[in-house]
Amino acid sequence: MSRGSVRRRSGSSFELKFDDGTYANGKRRIRYINFKCTTKQEAQKELTRLLAERDRGTLPDANKTTVKEWLHSWLGDDPDPGTAKPVLPVGLTSLKTAERYRQLAKDQVNPHLGNVVLQKLRPPQVEEWHAALLARGGKTGKPLCARTVGHAHRVLHRALERGVKLEVLSRNVASNVSPPAVEDEEVEILQEGEPAMVLQALVDAEHVLHPMVDLDLATGMRRGELLALAWNILDLDECKVKVKRSLEETKYGLRFKAPKTKTGWRTLTFPASTGAVLREHRKKQLELRVKLGLGKPGPDALVFSNPDGTPIKPSWLSYTWRNTQESMKLPDVTFHAFRHTHASALIAAGLDVVTVSKRIGHKNPTTTLRIYSHLFDKRASDAGAAAAIEAAMRTQVQR
């Protein structure tokens, strides 16, 4: 009994039953938790996690648990940097996301809602919390931007959703209150003529960033995807690259991770000129390894790496570009602007939003439209739309 049991209740729900100590009268206290999932293996995994919390003395009492305690039971503490494989909170796939969620819980949620009993939290309190963050939620009491308030709201929402899933809560009160609206900002891109100018400047300086910037402009990959590329998924003859993982940097170190969604897995074609740049980069990489006495790298060696073949930190790429941009008087944009510039070039060339979305690796075209709507607006004027529909309405079929 001490290890508990799992029983299916329906097609998508299991009952988790386990011993949770004794009452004051000495009678055993049995906990029943309904967990929504599709397989018994998932239910057993959740039971194991709950039993571990029980044994550590951190399993929350649903009737007395505060928002702060509930968040901690889900997110836990920051892992020891020496931990070989930190445990991810349930439902999260990224250590970086977990790191960010803990910070938001500590700085934005707990100071305002942390002492509220979980089951007594109501929509008006969530609304008042939003207002307080917007007014004085930042460092030293400064106003917090709507985007960050939205991120904090997401942490609370996901925590409460977990409570509903475990049937600790009957509803998610954060669903009743929308986070503050965020004004869309135009993305940062290189202007006409600037991509060629940047690349030529890097070529002239024989700069280490040249092949990375060239490939990023050619494919629109994310920074972490670029740094996770291995030579065995790069076809220089066909000028194709398979995006199948990303490099994530946290304070616990670097790790490779798979794309979050199936649209993140994609094959991208790049120009022959970029292929030539990569061939030259490969040649120099091999020559350097010989000089260092490292020998020929394996087929899974990274395309962009430190001299010894280890991964480059994403943060290094960002600040190295920033230093280069400043010292060489290049356009004042972040490294991420190369990805946006790639997308803007596709849009300007007349590609439809679905095609652009697939190439960029967005979850769906709605995301692409939200980010690049102003670029689509520039491409097609309303007057042009009127002319197009008139042509469709007035042109007769030849019989």
Segment 10-31, tens digit of pLDDT = 777 888 888 877 655 566 777 7
Q: Which has the closest alpha carbon to 201: 185, 188, 214, 183? A: 214
Whole-prediction pTM = 0.68
Can you tell me the distance from the alpha carbon of 35 to that of 7, in angstroms, rounded to the nearest whole number?
10
pLDDT reported for residue 393: 46
The end-to-end CA distance of the chain, in Å, is 82
| CB contact at 8 A, 98 and 251 | no
Can you tell me the distance from the alpha carbon of 199 to that of 324, in angstroms, rounded to the nearest whole number?
12
Share of the chain above pLDDT 90, in %: 42
Summarize pLDDT for 320-359 with one digit per residue, the tens.
999 999 999 999 999 999 999 888 888 888 888 888 889 9
Q: Which has the closest alpha carbon to 307: 292, 322, 318, 324? A: 292
Q: How far is CA 353 from CA 215, 299, 356, 361, 373, in A?
A: 22, 35, 5, 12, 10
pLDDT reported for residue 85: 66
pLDDT reported for residue 331: 92
Name the CATH superfamily housing domain 194-331. Answer: Intergrase catalytic core (1.10.443.10)
DSSP string, 172-199: -GGGGSPPPP----PPP-PPTTHHHHHH
User: How do beta strands 246-250 and 253-257 pair?
Assistant: antiparallel
Mean pLDDT computed over 239-260: 88
SS3 content of the chain, % helix, strand, coil (to 5): 50, 15, 35
| CB contact at 8 A, 27 and 8 | no
Number of neighbouring beta carbons within 10 Å of residue 34: 14
Q: Strand 240-243's sheet: what is its strand order?
A: 234-235, 240-243, 266-269
User: How do beta strands 234-235 and 240-243 pair?
Assistant: antiparallel
Asked if the model's pLDDT at residue 387 lies above 70, the reply is no
Classify residue 109 by its DSSP letter. Answer: I
HSE toward the beta carbon, residue 114, CA cutoff 13 A: 14
Segments making up each domain of the chain, as ranges: 1-59, 61-183, 194-331
Asked if the model's pLDDT at residue 255 lies above 80, the reply is yes
CATH code for the part of the protein at 61-183 = 1.10.150.130
Taking CA 37 as the corner, what is the angle to CA 33 and CA 38, rounded to the nearest 5 degrees?
135
Can you tell me the distance from the alpha carbon of 111 to that of 115, in angstroms, rounded to the nearest whole number?
8
Q: Which has the closest alpha carbon to 258: 272, 269, 242, 235? A: 242
The mean pLDDT value of the chain amounts to: 85
